[in-house]
Structure 1
Amino acid sequence: MATQKLYAGTKLREVRGRIGLSQKAFAEKLGISLPYLNQMEHNHRPVSAAVVLRLAQEFGLDVTELTTGDSERLVSDMREALVDPVFGPGGAPQADLRLVASNAPGLARAFLNLHRAYRQASERLASLDEALGREDRSAAPSPWDEVRDFFHYCDNYIDAVDRSAERFAREAAGRDLVQAAVSVLEARGISVQVSEMPLVRAYDAATRRLTISARVPEATRRFQLLHQIALLTQDDLLEATLDLARFQTVEARGIAKIGLANYFAGAAQMPYAPFLIAAREERHDLERLADRFGASIEQVAHRLSTLQRPGSKGVPFFFVRVDQAGTITKRHSATRLQFARFGGACPLWNVHRAFETPGRFLRQLAQTPDGVRYLSLARDVTKPGGSFTAPVRRYAIGLGCEIAHASSLVYADDLDLTRRFEPIGISCRICERPDCHQRSVPPLERRLAVDPDRRGVLPYGIPD
């Protein structure tokens, strides 16, 4: 079988810029000519195995950086966008999309922003409320989507915030993390109390009092305390990170700041190096890790998906959370599986069945249309309100990895990895499977065959 050539010019330029070397100096370090380096950086030639080896030896580079990152996400997002009927039939060949993602990632993101603006404009025009005069807004992405995309394209790993949280946890070594956090706040003249209240967390800057709800679980109280620590002690770092992100609206920046504070809280509760070691020791047993770090199952699953530090990466996981309507409320993938930007997840995915079996882990061997196989875990997450009359929030979380990493997970121990894998997709609107019994809408990029005298599982056929 022919080996796929590695074109990684954009990543190569990023590595050189991060190290701070000129093209000439970089070429000398790699033992190659300047024209050869220039050709590789512009994707006119593939990155050779010898260059990959020199990158690892000379700079200690995690060479998976050259093959991971934005490219797969950009290809997936562009492919989904191009099946929109506005572009006409046919779409674009996969090879063309990969070429654009590798050579012109900025252009690819601009195209996605333009398509997103078009969709939002179309949705506003289709809304009766908007047509009757609701205040119009610009075609910019919604603040929520903008922030979600920020974390999505950062690989859900924010190095400076992660290392700062790890440093905070290291300085608290030998002490209970909650007590360490309370001590930091009290040193700043801030009192901390736990009491009955409808809010989960409330900070009054005037009285310098932080109140945490007594109704929420201990793991949530710890997380919210660390969240407030981030806002009060890491403000300069958070603001600098937000400056680099260049959000388009004040609302997006505000949502992102909350997200960064949440990131700090999770990283402080489960500091990178100790958590990575523990994950390997426990073979990614979510319940044992939750008990070991005083965290919730959801917090542990989310943290596992962030272990993408260059040179010290964990198993690449995807992580998703859905509500009972199937709407994706959290998503991240360090794998080749990319979630749909619009609509819900594939109905054949086990994450939807988790609501039927509360308190149990469901396992699924799944295969996407591109032939990639995964081990997928799913479990329901119930968040009670703390009283009989309070509403209960229910979600399901999904966590999974490509089957090549299954041996690192305790959940694969008694599974027959040679048996049939269940076919799943990304979303019905872009799924190529012609005979899926759970298809909700026709694929946008395929013509339909409608025969009133014949009826199968679907009321239409999808010819090859």
Structure 2
Amino acid sequence: MATQKLYAGVKLRETRARLGLTQKAFADRLGVSLPYLNQMENNHRPVSAAVVLALAGEFGLDVTELSAGDAERLVSDMREAMADPVFADGGTPPLADLRLAASNAPALARAFLELHRAYRQAHERLASLDEALGREGAQTVVSPWEEVRDFFHYCDNYIDAVDRAAERFSCPDGKRLDPILRASDALRARGVDVQFSNISELRAREGDRILISAHASRSTQAFQLLHQVALITQNELLEATLDLARFQSETSRAIAKIGLANYFAGAALLPYRAFLDAAQETRHDLERLADAFGASIEQVAHRLSTLQRPGAKGIPFFFVRVDQAGTITKRHSATRLQFARFGGACPLWNVHQAFETPTKFLRQLAETPDGVRYLCLARDVSKSGGSFTAPVRRYAICLGCEVSHARGLVYADDMELGNPRAYQPIGISCRICERKDCHQRSVPPLERRLRVDPNRRGMLPYDIA
């Protein structure tokens, strides 16, 4: 199999700018000529193996960052956006062109996605005849929720400064402390009293008193306390991170602050190095990890997908949570698999079946249209409301990795990883999926022509050319 060439011009330029070096000085340090460096930075030539080694040896760069990052996410998001009917007359650009744009002009690609997102929101508001039709001076703005979601998405769902601060908090002397006791002591040191009470909410703050639901699980109680620790003891760090993000509205900033506090809470409950070591030792057994750290299955699965610290990365996982309607409510991928920004997940994915088998793990070997194969692990994570009359929140999660990493998971044992017939074909979104014979297709792909024969009927009322 031919080795894929590595084009990383943007990453090279970013690295050089961060080091404050001229092209001449950077080329000398890498041991290449100035014209050759210029060609690599403009993606006219791939990054050679010698340059990769020089980057690691001379500058200590985590070379996995060269091939990771935003490019695959941008390509996936642009493909989905270009499949919108508004672009139907102009045709869809070739995949090679989209990759070129993502590599050479990522800022322009993001601007295009922002424009498309604003268009979709305006279209949906007009279609539903909401307040935008009648309100004078109404403006189309980016949804705060989507803006924050994309912020974490393009940060690789790893915020280094917040992650390290959480680790220092939970392991002050290199040893992990009980999260509830540690959080309670830290809050009381700031003059905030912690009480466990019979309240309907998970958490409530009244002046200098924080009330935590006594009916919640211990993992939830710990998370809620650590969330407050983040807001009270780490406020300057959170605000500095928000300043760098430059959100478009105060609403977005407020939502993002809650997200950063949640990130701190998860990272403190499952501190990076201790959790990474335990994950490798248990071969990523979610139940053993949840028991060892006093966390929930969902917290453990989500945390596994964030282990992307430079120089100490874990297995690159994807993580997704869906509701009963199939709508994605949480998504992150450190793999080549990217999720649809709009709509639901592929119905052939095992995450949908998890609702039918409560408390059981479902394993699936899956293959996407690009030929990449994955091990997928799905489970329901329904959450009781705490009483007979309270509603039950029903979700399912899926955690997965490429099969090249599957041997590091206990869930891969006894599976036929080398058997091509064992892999279920899945997609990302029907609008951009290239499969012609999928029996679960909901809409035809917008990138292909259709043939309709009224005298013949197969699985679909049309054939895909």
Offset, 1:241? 0.5
User: Which residue does the alignment assign to 2:408?
Assistant: 408
Secondary structure of 1:411's partner?
helix
Matched with 1:296 is 296
Matches within 5 A, 1:309-328: 309-328=309-328
Tell me: CA distance 1:21–1:242, structure 2 relative to 1, closer, same or farther (3 Å): same
Q: Is the 8 A contact 2:290 2:296 kept in 1?
A: yes
Distance apart, 1:36 and its partner CA: 2.4
Deviation track 1:366-417 (CA, whole Å, cap 9, x = no partner) reads 0000100000000000111111111110100000000100000000011011
Asked if 2 retains the 8 angstrom alpha-carbon contact of 1:130 and 1:136, the reply is no
Distance verdict in 2 for CA 1:132–1:23, change over 3 Å: closer
Query: Is the alpha carbon distance of 1:278 and 1:18 closer, same or farther for their aligned partners in structure 2, counting shifts above 3 Å?
Result: farther
Question: How far apart are residue 452 of structure 1 and its match?
Answer: 2.1
- In structure 1, the partner of 2:426 is 424
Seen in structure 2, the aligned counterparts of structure 1 residues 23 and 131 have a Cα distance that, compared at 3 Å, is closer
Deviation of the 1:131 alpha carbon: 7.2
Q: Cα gap change, 1:291/1:52 in structure 2, threshold over 3 Å: closer, same or farther? A: same
Q: CA deviation at 1:448?
A: 2.1
Contact in 2 for aligned 1:216/1:385 (Cα 8 Å): no
Please give the alpha-carbon distance, in whole angstroms, between the structure 2 residues aligned to 1:41 and 1:131: 45
1:429 aligned partner, one-letter code: R
Rounded to whole Å, the distance in 2 between the matches of 1:156 and 1:32 is: 34
What are the Cα deviations for residues 283-302 of structure 1, in whole angstroms up to 9, with x where unaligned?
00000011111110000000
- Judge which range, 85-94 or 232-241, deviates more: 85-94
Task: State the partner residue of 1:191.
Answer: 193
Instruction: Provide closer, same or farther for how the CA distance between residues 255 and 135 of structure 1 changes in structure 2, counting only shifts above 3 A.
Output: farther
Question: Alpha carbons of 1:30 and 1:329: their partners in 2 closer, same or farther (altered >3 Å)?
Answer: same
Amino acid at match of 1:7: Y
Letter in 1 for 2:28: E
Q: Tell me: CA distance 1:131–1:51, structure 2 relative to 1, closer, same or farther (3 Å).
A: closer
Q: Secondary structure at the match of 1:383?
A: coil
- Give 1:105's aligned residue: 106
Query: 1:365-376, aligned counterparts within 5 Å?
Result: 365-376=365-376
Between the aligned partners of 2:22 and 2:198, the Cα distance in structure 1 is 60
The one-letter amino acid paired with 2:144 is P
Superimposed CA distance per residue, residues 427-452 of structure 1 (whole angstroms, 9 cap, x where no aligned partner): 11111111111111121222222222
The question of 1:92 aligning with 2:93 is answered yes
- Give the aligned partner of residue 344 of structure 2: 344
Other-structure match for 1:462:
464
Q: How does 1:321-400 map to 2 (within 5 A)?
A: 321-400=321-400
| Equivalent position of 2:223 in the other structure | 223
Q: Distance in 1 between matches of 2:125 and 2:2?
A: 49
Cα distance change of structure 1 residues 65 and 157 upon mapping to structure 2, 3 Å threshold:
same
Mapped contact 2:439–2:460 kept (Cα < 8 A): yes
- 1:174–1:152 distance in 2 versus 1, CA, 3 Å: closer
TM-score normalised per structure 1? 0.96
Greater mean deviation of Cα atoms: 447-456 or 124-133: 124-133
Name the residue aligned to 2:120.
119
Query: 1:355 is matched by which residue type in structure 2?
Result: F
Q: TM-score, normalised by structure 2?
A: 0.96
Return the alpha-carbon distance in structure 2 between the equivalents of residues 150 and 138 of structure 1. 22
Deviations 1:148-190 (A, max 9, x none): 0000000000010001111111216364221111111111111
Q: Does 1:158 align with 2:159?
A: yes
CA distance in 1, matches of 2:32, 2:447: 45
CA contact 1:215–1:385 (8 Å) conserved in 2: no
* Equivalent residue number for residue 148 of structure 1: 149
**Local SS of the residue matching 1:374:** strand
Looking at structure 1, the residues matched to 103 and 140 of structure 2 have their Cα atoms a distance apart, in angstroms, of 27
One-letter identity of the residue aligned with 1:182: S
Following the alignment from structure 1 to structure 2, what is the Cα–Cα distance between the partners of residues 403 and 136? 53
Q: Distance in 2 between matches of 1:226 and 1:135?
A: 43
Aligned-CA RMSD value = 1.5
Identify if the C-alpha distance between structure 1 residues 403 and 325 changes in structure 2 by more than 3 Å, giving closer, same or farther: same
What one-letter code is carried by the residue in structure 1 that aligns with 2:123? S
Contact 2:132/2:138 (<8 A) preserved: no
Q: Residue 31 of structure 1: CA displacement?
A: 1.7
CA distance in 2, matches of 1:118, 1:281: 48
Query: How big is each residue's C-alpha offset from its partner over 1:214-236, in whole Å with a ceiling of 9 and x where there is no partner?
Result: 12111000001000000001101
Name stretches of at least 5 consecutive residues in structure 2 with no aligned partner.
none
In structure 2, distance between residues paired with 1:460 and 1:397: 33
- Choose the corresponding residue for 2:181, options 179, 198, 205: 179
CA 228–313 in structure 1, closer or farther in 2 if over 3 Å, else same: same
Query: What is the rounded CA distance, in whole Å, between the counterparts of 1:334 and 1:125 in structure 2?
Result: 36
Q: Which runs of 5+ in 1 are unaligned?
A: none
Would you say the 8 A contact 1:16–1:26 is kept in 2?
A: yes
| Equivalent-residue separation in structure 2 for 1:21 and 1:286 (angstroms) | 45
Correspondence for 1:60: 60
In structure 2, what is the Cα distance between the partners aligned to 1:135 and 1:376? 49
CA shift, 1:92, in A, is: 0.7
- Paired residue type of 1:150: F
Contact 2:126 2:133 in 1 (8 A): no
Deviates more, 1:136-145 or 1:194-203: 136-145
Matched residue count: 461
- Kindly indicate whether the alpha-carbon contact (under 8 Å) linking 2:180 and 2:221 is maintained by their aligned counterparts in 1: no
